[in-house]
């Protein structure tokens, strides 16, 4: 019988932590055996720790209800129980930097949903279809810090997946993109619970999300970057201008994208064929969470739509549509993904699957 890898979730009582448990409840490779959260939840059974604030549509999986929640800051409690930690802790940035590094120091593979380490030069910011080769920096990360087994990888901002994989597909096919304007329409769930007050969203759009535009303009360059001299050097050739808006949609981040190519540009039908035929290492390895196809192109004029398309490919696929010529740049299109699955817990789980498949987690 196949032996599952034992994993833990820190920050398990929050919305992202709950999503981890929902997605991992029947995972073929991973078995959740350790849960941790804030000191207020420590010592309680999980079902009691989330009483009145379980926000998933399905019930709490039975296998997790009686697990006693530990204090996420007490790293020693996890030692000997698991080898992989999914981090969704909600702390200030410095505390996250410290606690995630301590888990890695203690020998854990840490896959984080947080932004704290995204600017750390030797920590990969992972979209597995794009930059699987960035995992090659892990031995250098370990050597620099004196870690024997543990390491850190993180997922990117939850809004960029809807266009990053479509962009990469074109770049992989030989069409370099140097300029992009993106306007995101981001779902309420991206703000966590309870999110913005209803009175702020009804009959309204909020044209500001703290930090989102900066992350949207910076993180793609690191993801498209290269490993050089023990650090990940960003691709400074890509320039992005971002507008990020909060809209009254439950789940599903939409991006309106205008792109310009650096040199030769493909015809529209070639772009669609590139997207529809795109495959990368997660698909080739048949990782459990990898969507096949990774990109779905819709021909209808009114697609993609969050209600109709966010759950495509078990909520891991990217749906694109409305490709057309642009009067200012070369082309424009709409991209959509499920922000709390592909953009959060699901994207981290896919990264962990890739780490296991490539032998980084034993």
In this structure, the answer to whether residues 186 and 321 fall within a common structural domain is yes
Beta partners for 6? 31
Pairing of strands 84-87, 5-10: parallel
Q: What token pair was written down for 177?
A: 């993109």
Residue linked to tokens 């078995």? 31
Domain count, the chain: 2
Range of 287's domain? 161-338
In this structure, the answer to whether residues 178 and 321 fall within a common structural domain is yes
pLDDT at 1 (0 to 100): 42
| Distance between CA atoms of residues 358 and 354, nearest Å | 6
pLDDT at 3 (0 to 100): 87
How long a stretch of residues is the chain? 362
In this structure, the answer to whether residues 120 and 233 fall within a common structural domain is no
The one catalytic residue in 82, 158, 244, 257 is: 158
The answer to the question of residue 260 being in a domain is yes
**Residue 158 catalytic?**
yes
pLDDT at 2 (0 to 100): 65
Sheet hosting strand 239-246, strand order edge to edge: 239-246, 177-186, 253-261, 331-337, 318-325, 295-298
Write the pLDDT tens digit of every residue in 160-219: 999 999 999 999 999 999 999 999 999 999 999 889 999 999 999 999 999 999 999 999
Element holding 182 (H helix, E strand):
strand 177-186
134 contacts 232 by C-beta, under 8 angstroms: yes
In degrees, to the nearest 5, what angle opens at C-alpha 144 toward C-alphas 139 and 145?
A: 100
**Residue 82 catalytic?**
no
| Distance between CA atoms of residues 49 and 41, nearest Å | 5
Distances 277 to 149, 169, 273, 286, 287 between C-alpha atoms, Å: 37, 9, 6, 16, 18
pLDDT at 95 (0 to 100): 96
In this structure, the answer to whether residues 233 and 186 fall within a common structural domain is yes
The one catalytic residue in 117, 134, 253, 337 is: 253
The answer to the question of residue 253 being in a domain is yes
pLDDT beneath 50: ranges in the chain = 1
């Amino acid at each position: 019988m196949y032996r599952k890898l034992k994993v833990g979730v820190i920050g398990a009582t929050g919305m992202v932590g709950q999503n981890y448990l929902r997605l991992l409840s029947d995972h073929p490779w991973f078995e959740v055996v350790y849960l941790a959260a804030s000191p207020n939840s420590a010592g309680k059974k999980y079902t009691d720790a989330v009483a009145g604030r379980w926000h998933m549509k399905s019930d709490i999986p039975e296998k997790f209800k009686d697990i006693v929640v530990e204090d996420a800051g007490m790293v020693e409690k996890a030692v000997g129980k698991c080898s992989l930690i999914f981090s969704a802790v909600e702390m200030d940035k410095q505390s996250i930097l410290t606690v995630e590094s301590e888990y890695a120091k203690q020998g854990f593979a840490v896959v984080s949903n947080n932004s704290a380490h995204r600017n750390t030069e030797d920590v990969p910011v992972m979209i597995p279809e794009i930059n699987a080769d960035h995992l090659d920096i892990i031995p250098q990360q370990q050597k620099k810090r004196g870690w024997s087994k543990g390491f850190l990888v993180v997922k990117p901002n939850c809004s960029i997946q809807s266009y990053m994989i479509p962009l990469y597909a074109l770049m992989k096919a030989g069409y370099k993109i140097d300029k992009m304007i993106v306007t995101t329409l981001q779902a309420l769930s991206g703000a966590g619970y309870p999110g913005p007050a209803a009175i702020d969203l009804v009959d309204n759009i909020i044209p500001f999300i703290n930090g989102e535009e900066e992350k949207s303009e910076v993180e793609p360059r690191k993801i498209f970057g290269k490993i050089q001299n023990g650090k990940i050097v960003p691709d400074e050739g890509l320039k992005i201008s971002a507008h990020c808006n909060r809209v009254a949609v439950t789940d599903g981040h939409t991006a309106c994208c205008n792109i310009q190519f650096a040199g030769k540009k493909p015809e529209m039908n070639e772009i669609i064929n590139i997207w529809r035929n795109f495959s990368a290492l997660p698909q080739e390895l048949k990782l459990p969470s990898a969507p096949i196809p990774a990109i779905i192109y819709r021909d209808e004029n009114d697609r993609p739509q969050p209600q109709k398309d966010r759950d495509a490919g078990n909520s891991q696929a990217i749906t694109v549509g409305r490709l057309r010529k642009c009067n200012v740049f070369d082309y424009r299109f709409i991209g959509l993904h499920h922000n709390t699955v592909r953009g959060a817990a699901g994207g981290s789980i896919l990264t962990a699957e890739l780490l296991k498949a490539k032998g980084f987690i034993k």
